[in-house]
Structures are given as C-alpha cells and as structure tokens.
Chains A and B, each alone.
Chain A
C-alpha cells in the first residue's frame, strides 16, 4: 500500500473525488490565470486599489507630519501601529505552518491549500513590515537598524529584541519568498507549456527557469524542498517568539511573562488559518475549485482552528492565574483592569471571538457548514486584532503611577493606515489570483490516488510496511 493512500482502518477517505485527474488539476487551476477575470475579481481589485490609495495618503501624511499624526502618546507609545504589525505577521504564520510543518508531518491535504497560504504569508509580512518601518518616524534613517557603517560610527545594539525582530522578520520574509518561488517553478512550467500567446510563453518561460520535469532535477528539488521545510519550521516558531520578546523582555506589567512566546505562536497560527479560510471560501466559490479544495480540507482546517483557539483560551486564563499567583500588585491590577477597566469591551470582544466562537467547531454539523465557518473565520480575525490591541494598549495605558495613566484615541490617520494595509494585502492577493496558479498543481497531482507507482520494488526508498500490517503488529 502506498504511503499516500488513506488509512481506511480509521475511516479516512480519499482527499479528492474520483474524477479528479492530473489533467483536471492543470486545466481547472491554470484556467483561472488564462481566462478573463470575473466581475467579482474586478470589484475586489477595485475596492482594494481604493484602499491602497488610502494607505498611500495616510502614510504620506504621516511621514510628512511625523508620528504625532497617530493617536500614540505617553503612556501608550505603542498602539495601533504595533497591533497591526503583530496582527499581520501572525496571519502570515499559517502559510508557513501549512507549507512547512504539515509537509514535515506528511499531511497530504496541505497540497490543495499551501500555495494559497504561502502567498498570503508573503503579502501579510509585507503589510507587517510597513508598520515598524513607518513607526521609526524618520524612515530615511531606517538603515541605522542594520549593521551598516554610518556617520555616527556606531553599531546597532544586538542585545535589543527590536533588533532581533529586524533580523527575524526580514529572514522570515526572504525565506518565505524563496520557498514560495521554488514551489512555483514546476507550475510556471505548466503555464508556459499551455501558453497560447508569445507574451505568456516568454514571461512564464522566464519564471520557469527552463524546468523540464527531469528526475535528475526532482532529486535535488525535493531535497531542497525538504530542507526549506525543515528550516522554516523552527523559523516560524522563532519569528513570533522574537516578536513576543519585544514585549516579554520589558518590565511592563502584563508583558513581562514567560508564556508569551508559545502564546503568540498559537495565536499566530490561529489567526492565519482563519484568514486562509476566509480567502479560500471565497476563491473556491468564485473559481469553481470545490473538487480540489474539498469539504474535507475545510474541515481539517477548522479542527486546527479549534485546537489553536483552545490553546489561546488556555493562555488567556493562565495569564490571569499567574497574575494572581505572582502576588505582584501591578500585575494583578493590569489583569483586573483588562477585564473590568475602560477597555473591558475590547477584552470581552477578544474572548468572545477567539475562545468562544471556535468552540462551535466541536460539532461536525457546524464545522462542515460553509456559512458558519465563513462567519467564524472573520470573527477570529477580528478577535485576534483585538487580542493584540488588548495586550498592547491595556498594559500601557495604566502602568505604574496613576498620575501617568491615560487613554488611547485613534486618529483618522490611524484608521487610514490600518484599512489601507487591508487594501495593500487584497491588491497583492487579487494580482496573485489573477496571474499565478493558486493551487500547487504538481503537488496535488503527486498526491492523487494512483499518481504513484502501485507496486513496490525491492530497492525503493520507501520500504514501509502497509498500514494494515502495522495495525496487526501492534495488536
């Protein structure tokens, strides 16, 4: 039995319907990039461009007039900017989780989702990188954060988690982009070979690098893919851990806790899966890819959201427990203030969206219902934005001395910078959908039933016993 077959003993079924062949996969996925876009695409793209314009105006105004255009002020020196940064980078994490971690765990169902999720990662990280960049105020001096000789003859402080963040996020972006491009090469070759006009042939041909499906190439290619997955797995854990160090290494009550790295990573995966789900539900509907992104895929993703949502809920309660158990008056106050202070509505929005809403997925009927999962995925994204807002703003606005307490009020530029980043994200995502195969065709083909040789040779590399044999041995 091939390692790709479903394990019938535990009730697994094939991932895709029987009529899905390799040719069907190429045709249905490539078609999206070959035909004129549906009206819906133009509507999304148009609205996204509009908000991209809002972003340009807001950022331009901010850079020209200074950071005071935001509502950030003492004591809330970090507010929406860093909330947005953490939110976007968290969204990005699901892409790497799907492409790398699930690859290492040999989860074949990832093949239908990974291209999509990796694209989302890259665009989300672009949006995330925007905020620390503009938050420095004088963006023309941004290179001071890099180890480049400058006129002050000073070097960056390598003991600062903010500098670790510069390295972590830029490494993450670069590695994600490489991983994505490597995965695209065989699919660009498919588009090149299907191309009817010279321009498409030239552009996709250049991107395909002359790929000819050679097994002498696949040998190194698969190894490169495996190594990239093995590198990305600790990388993705490190990135949000380092983001959480920005908070955890400070001495702010509510931030200075050791639970932050795993808590942030779980939240990142949670929000990222929600975003993938939102986008996937729209795209499979609009482009008729229901046979490739099946209900089984959606259900598996909902299960991951249930797990990570529960982890996040555990972290919330553990923070409260530790605040009480620590005996630290400031720590206790921060948490009482979160739940009952002036930002109580943000806290309870967060709990409702992140902890309560995914619990619906315990029910099989609800986690296989498209409207329910669509609503829950959007709810989770809202909730995860509020989580970062709660962590940042409620900790800062009332820290130690009551004389320095204050409230945060967003300005129009805050709102423009946030909604504008959604415009940037959806502009990039629309262009991706239009021009790049949104499903990893070669990976889906490789995981189709019957795609791999049916008989095992004595000298093949995967000399695993059949699943049935394993079960008998264990019994």
Chain B
C-alpha cells in the first residue's frame, strides 16, 4: 500500500428508533422498499418482527431432529453392542440385549445431542461467535442492548444509495440516521 493517509469508506446505514411500534413500522417500510442486506437490532425479541422483516421460519428444528435421532441411534447401537454382543451380561435373568432397560439412556442421549444441536446449530445459523461487525463502529449502537432500536442497511445491498436510503430511513421517523464508516488502510 502506497497510501499513507487512512481513508474511510461507508459500510452501513444505522437508523435509531425509540419504540417497538416505530421499529416494527420501520422494518415494514424497509422490507417493502425491497432491501435484502439489512437487519433490525433490538434489546429483546420483538413480537411480529419476523413477519415485518419478511423472514421465513427458523429451520433450526430440522437440525435438532437430526441430532436427536442420532442420539437415539447412538444409544441403541452402543448398548446393544456392548451389553448384547461384545460382552453379553445376563442381569436379573433378562436377555443381554433386553430393550426396556435401554430406554432411559436412549432418552438421555437423545436430549443431550438435541441440546447440542439446538445450541451449536443456532450458533452456526447465526454465525456466532463473530466479534466484528460494521455496526459496532458506531458509538450510538451500544444503546441497542439498553433500550434503543436500530435498523441497519448494508452498502452491499443492491438497492443501496447514499441519498435514497437515507431519505427512506428518515421518512420512517428515525430519531437519528448515521452513515457508519470503516477505516481502510
């Protein structure tokens, strides 16, 4: 890099809102304007926001189902092989591969693997942990975890336009609109 001076380039528009009503209204506005790379940041989950943003239902349940089935299968295979085949144990006059006594561990492993699926599946779908994101460059953004609501629209969005996007956000009664910039060296 030959340039010595640090230059800046815009990365995201951040619009601040004060109330859940304002933010849900704003989300509908941005959705209807046809943006795709945008998001809403709220201190807590706001009811009806998925519909307002035009998001589909979370697919996490399918991941969990798969993990749960894996858990049950693993339990059955493990117990059958260990107690029924590799080292048959006759306890209480029951057949070594008796099924009823397998049930508790089948259940526990199903729950354990499903829980892993739910948590790590959620991390995967959300791409967490990820400690860097353009919205963090804004000084005002910290308030999202307190009591403020934000809409962010990324520069990469096809419809992004420095002037038009700003007008849209201001038209949605944002209390403060900010063009967040990133330092490029």
Q: How large is the interface on B (under 10, 10 to 19, 20 to 34, 35 or more residues)?
A: 35 or more
CA–CA, A103 and B28, complex, Å: 29
B44 touches A451 (CB 8 A): yes
A453 at the interface (CB under 8 A from B): yes
B50 touches A461 (CB 8 A): yes
Residue of A nearest to B79 (CB): A158
Residues of B within 8 A of A451 (CB): 20, 44
Residue of B nearest to A21 (CB): B147
A157 touches B89 (CB 8 A): yes
- Residues of A134-187 contacting chain B, CB below 8 A: 147, 153-161, 163-164, 167-168, 171, 174-175, 178-179, 181-182, 185-186
Question: Please, what's the 1-or-0 string for A176-210, where 1 marks a CB less than 8 Å from any CB in chain B?
Answer: 00110110011001101110000000000110011
A227 touches B61 (CB 8 A): yes
Tell me which of B24, B104, B119, B130 contacts A182 (CB under 8 A): B119
Residues of A within 8 A of B118 (CB): 178, 224, 227-228, 231
Question: Please, what's the 1-or-0 string for A21-40, where 1 marks a CB less than 8 Å from any CB in chain B?
Answer: 11100100000000000000
B171 at the interface (CB under 8 A from A): no
Question: Please, what's the 1-or-0 string for B106-131, where 1 marks a CB less than 8 Å from any CB in chain A?
Answer: 01110110111011011101101111
Residues of A within 8 A of B130 (CB): 209-210
A223 at the interface (CB under 8 A from B): yes
Residues of B within 8 A of A22 (CB): 43-44, 146-147
Question: Please, what's the 1-or-0 string for A408-451, where 1 marks a CB less than 8 Å from any CB in chain B?
Answer: 00000000000000000000000000000000001101100011
A212 at the interface (CB under 8 A from B): yes
Tell me which of A26, A212, A234, A462 contacts B133 (CB under 8 A): A212
A459 touches B87 (CB 8 A): no
B108 touches A457 (CB 8 A): no
Residues of A within 8 A of B135 (CB): 212
Contact (A193, B146) CB under 8 Å given A224-B118, A231-B115: yes
B34 at the interface (CB under 8 A from A): no
Contact (A212, B136) CB under 8 Å given A175-B112, A453-B24: yes
CA–CA, A40 and B124, complex, Å: 42
CA–CA, A161 and B92, complex, Å: 13
A159 touches B146 (CB 8 A): no
B105 touches A158 (CB 8 A): yes
A167 touches B104 (CB 8 A): yes
Residue of B nearest to A443 (CB): B44
Q: Within the complex, what minimum Cβ distance (angstroms) separates B80 from chain A?
A: 9
CA–CA, A242 and B101, complex, Å: 12
Q: Which 6 A-B pairs have the closest CB atoms?
A: A209-B129, A460-B48, A446-B44, A22-B147, A155-B82, A224-B122
